[in-house]
Amino acid sequence: MIELLRTNDLVLLSWAEATLTAHGIETLRLDEHIAAIEGSIGVLPRRLMVAADDEKRARWVLETERRALDADDA
């Protein structure tokens, strides 16, 4: 597994996971429980992992989808 994203932004994490899942890329969230235990004060980021074979495609998907969102906002 490769770390694709490390963030304290739960909205970004959920968006990335949903986007990748919609494109058929399996994800795994790490550090969810430890972040909750520390009180969600934002000290410990959560990580989104993908299989090494999916890394390149996953990065491309997120970049492409983010650009589409930015274009919609313009």
Q: What confidence tens digit (pLDDT) does each residue in 39-54 have?
A: 666 678 899 999 999 9
Structure tokens at 69: 């969102």
Q: Can you give the CATH number for the domain in which 16 is found?
A: 3.30.70.790
Cα–Cα dist 9/14, whole Å: 9
Q: What percent of the chain has pLDDT over 90?
A: 68
13 contacts 29 by C-beta, under 8 angstroms: yes
How many structural domains compose the chain?
1
pTM for the complete prediction?
0.85
| Domain residue limits at 34 | 2-73
